Structure 1
Amino acid sequence: MNYLKNVITKFVFMMQKRPGLMAVLAFCSGVASYVFVERKESFSQLISILLLVTWLWLLIDNWLRDKVEERFGVAVSPNVVRFALQVVQQESLFFALPFFLAVTTWDHGQAAFTALIILCAFVSVVDPLYYKKLARHSVWFSVFHSFSLFVVLSVTLPILLKLTTSQSFEIALVTAVILTIPSLGNLMPNAKWWRFPLLVLLLCALSAGLWQLRSFVPPAALRLTDMSVSYQLDEQARKPIEPIQKLTEYDLHQKGLYSFSAVKAPRGLNEKVFHVWVHNRKEVERIALDISGGRKEGYRAWSHKTNFPANPAGKWVVKVVTESGQLIGQRRFEVTEV
């Protein structure tokens, strides 16, 4: 047992000297999972299961350490546990990052959410920031812990269970809070009793706020591969004819406008998707899409708008959204008077 303890201690010491190594490995596994989620489904599922197992291990950490000490007489150093917590958070953030980078709509508020993941991932590998700044503030550290779990669940749940975006989002929010609560004793070892219910309320409030701002959270399992607007559509080929860039009021009233989109969904598209037409930041119509297609080319659909306002000039956006309101992608265009 002393030999095993020495091996673990040496491994932790080695990894602490190379804090970026686990982050690089986690990011690479995330890229591989994103690439192979369709072709090598079992690989992505295996990586997802391993990540969730590490979170389960953290959940039973105290019980597990007591059993190891009781059975083998080996006491696990608090430094090892603290390092393990950091590694799991690193793995979760860097594994999920490629998925969010690939699906983020960068001219939308989603960019802020993905930037937050990048910031958290950066903090997790910079020890002076992680230990001297973040870890010393138990409230912020608990929020960081819960956010890391939410991020990885948002990616792994669709891979493992083929859940819809809405279902994955809801379950990830609730699970992140529930599984953070048993960890509060480790995250806040010397805190007064009344801080625990306050922190639980804070986590619930932040989860409710994130639910209200869910359009700012990229749907990790869905990606817009094509979107265009056109006056005509080839319905047999299910693609637009001569996508246009310049639109005038006269042409809109005479011809109407088709908006075409293709959505990549490696694990299948089992939810309603809508085109939301927005004129000068005001929603004017929401159209449910008739989805068809396959995995390689993406699920293709279109909406045809003919009832434009009397004065349609201005800035328009056609958004592709899920039934829960998460943005898959969007297409901006401007209508001129002449």
Structure 2
Amino acid sequence: MPLPASATLLARITPLVEKLKRYAWLWPPTAFVIGLLGFFLVNRQQWLGAVLALGLLFAWCLLLAESLLTRLLNFRGQPGLPRMVTTFIAQLIHQETLFFTLPFFLATTVWASGQAIFTLLLIGCGLLAILDPLYFGLAQRHRWLYFMFHALCVFVVVLVTLPIMLHLTTGQSLILAIVAMAIFSVPSLINLMQPQGLWRWLAMIGLIVVLASAAWIGRVWIPPATLWLSGNALSPSFDVGAREPRGESVLTPSTLSGQGLYAYTAIRAPRGLREKIYHVWRHNGEVVDRIPLVIRGGREQGYRAWTHKQNFPSASQGNWQIDVMTATDQRIGTLRFRVDEDASKATHADGDIHSPPGLPGWNIRHLVAGSDQDDE
């Protein structure tokens, strides 16, 4: 009697998975290298970066197809793929996702903010994904945590790939990432909660809403994966033609009331992207100005944008901060300065363009061949 088609499929897949497991250790570093290539190719050979991102999305489609196939076979009374096989396939996709997207978040995180927590969480998840005892233990004994892990992977893959492939803004990508996370979480939640009655279905829908709401509320801690600050400066004057800061001064109240202050930022973004950002001026933690700017991606040194604040309050002494924010309140970078009557305590605005601390753009973009873009 011939075996059912599903049994034949299982007989072929299971030995193949056992062979692949011997080389599974190669997958994380390979995905990390591919992620690095995708990151550096965002502005140079962007079509190739988009191809790499498309490959990652295709892998997720395969994972979703595998999940649906297993449920279809079970519905027809036929054996589905063994749990070991499905978990191993999911592990490979999770590894690829985390190590592909990690270079983007390492380069765009403002480490002196809550964004560091999100990126460190991704690093921890990446380590979890390559340690088989922990990963399989999570998948088998703590299904709700495994569900959260899966949802996070869906979230970050959409957050990184859409600006590269479709030139969507950071805010649009964030919203679609939340929607995708909710959609891709449905099969996992069905498997986790086994909803049969009305109340279980309502509870599952409520959990999806809570998950999406948590992602939206916590967006301020999520780095804008394809935007980063490549340079910044404070200056008393500005050469609009050359788009460069000029002059120098000590930031005392009298100086600011007389000539104001220019805040210059150079922001890297994927070629073809057009996005509104904001310079949010804060005095002792309180927002005093929120000035919109529109940037365009593609320039090697970053799109040069600036704001000129003139209406400083009479009591302007204290600590000032300029947050460079997206329209959805994700921080791209920060400039800080102090205003004081005592010139020795006040910040010296020298007009020099400084690179921010941390890993902005990895600072090794010269390794990628191609000519610089000086459009803006």
User: Which TM-score applies when normalising by structure 2?
Assistant: 0.80
Counterpart Cα distance in 2 of 1:173 and 1:292: 25
Aligned pair in 2 of structure 1 residues 190, 166: CA closer, same or farther (>3 Å)?
A: closer
| 2:53 corresponds to 1:51 | no
Q: How far off its partner does 1:325 sit?
A: 1.6
- RMSD of aligned alpha carbons: 2.8
Q: Which residue of 1 aligns with 2:293?
A: 289
Q: Which residue of 2 aligns with 1:263?
A: 267
SS for the counterpart of 1:34 is: helix
Q: How far off its partner does 1:118 sit?
A: 1.0
Query: Any residues of structure 2 matched to 1:200-219 within 5 Å, and which?
Result: 200-219=205-224
Q: Which residue of 2 aligns with 1:225?
A: 230
Aligned pair in 2 of structure 1 residues 132, 243: CA closer, same or farther (>3 Å)?
A: farther
Task: Give deviations 1:65-116, integer Å, cap 9, x for gaps.
Answer: 58899xxx99743311110011111111111110111111111111111111
**More deviation, 262-271/105-114:** 262-271
Task: Give deviations 1:224-258, integer Å, cap 9, x for gaps.
Answer: 111111111111111111466x5222221222110
AA matched with 1:253: S
Task: Give deviations 1:276-319, integer Å, cap 9, x for gaps.
Answer: 00111111101112647852232111111111122212211111
**In 1, are the aligned partners of 2:229 and 2:333 still within 8 Å (CA)?**
yes
Q: Which residue of 2 aligns with 1:176?
A: 181
Q: Which residue of 2 aligns with 1:136?
A: 141
Q: How far off its partner does 1:4 sit?
A: 8.6
Counterpart Cα distance in 2 of 1:292 and 1:266: 8
Ranges in structure 1 where 5+ consecutive residues have no aligned partner: none
AA matched with 2:217: Q
**In 2, are the aligned partners of 1:139 and 1:199 still within 8 Å (CA)?**
no
**In 2, are the aligned partners of 1:158 and 1:267 still within 8 Å (CA)?**
no
Q: How far off its partner does 1:32 sit?
A: 0.5
Q: Which residue of 2 aligns with 1:300?
A: 304
AA matched with 1:302: W
SS for the counterpart of 1:236 is: coil
Q: How far off its partner does 1:147 sit?
A: 1.0
| 2:35 corresponds to 1:33 | no
SS for the counterpart of 1:272 is: strand
Counterpart Cα distance in 1 of 2:79 and 2:133: 29
**In 1, are the aligned partners of 2:274 and 2:297 still within 8 Å (CA)?**
no
Q: Which residue of 2 aligns with 1:145?
A: 150
Aligned residue pairs, count: 333
Aligned pair in 2 of structure 1 residues 86, 196: CA closer, same or farther (>3 Å)?
A: farther
Counterpart Cα distance in 1 of 2:50 and 2:202: 35
Q: Which residue of 2 aligns with 1:105?
A: 110
Counterpart Cα distance in 2 of 1:303 and 1:184: 47
Q: How far off its partner does 1:126 sit?
A: 1.2
SS for the counterpart of 2:187 is: helix
SS for the counterpart of 2:335 is: strand
**Match for 1:83 among 79, 88, 111?**
88
SS for the counterpart of 2:225 is: coil
Q: Which residue of 2 aligns with 1:164?
A: 169
**In 2, are the aligned partners of 1:268 and 1:295 still within 8 Å (CA)?**
no
**In 2, are the aligned partners of 1:293 and 1:300 still within 8 Å (CA)?**
no
**More deviation, 288-297/158-167:** 288-297
**Match for 1:251 among 252, 255, 258?**
255
Task: Give deviations 1:155-212, integer Å, cap 9, x for gaps.
Answer: 11111111111110001101110121023344x2868765564344233213212212
**In 1, are the aligned partners of 2:193 and 2:204 still within 8 Å (CA)?**
no
**More deviation, 37-46/271-280:** 37-46
Counterpart Cα distance in 1 of 2:248 and 2:90: 51
| 2:84 corresponds to 1:96 | no
Counterpart Cα distance in 1 of 2:290 and 2:57: 37
| 2:128 corresponds to 1:123 | yes
**More deviation, 256-265/314-323:** 314-323
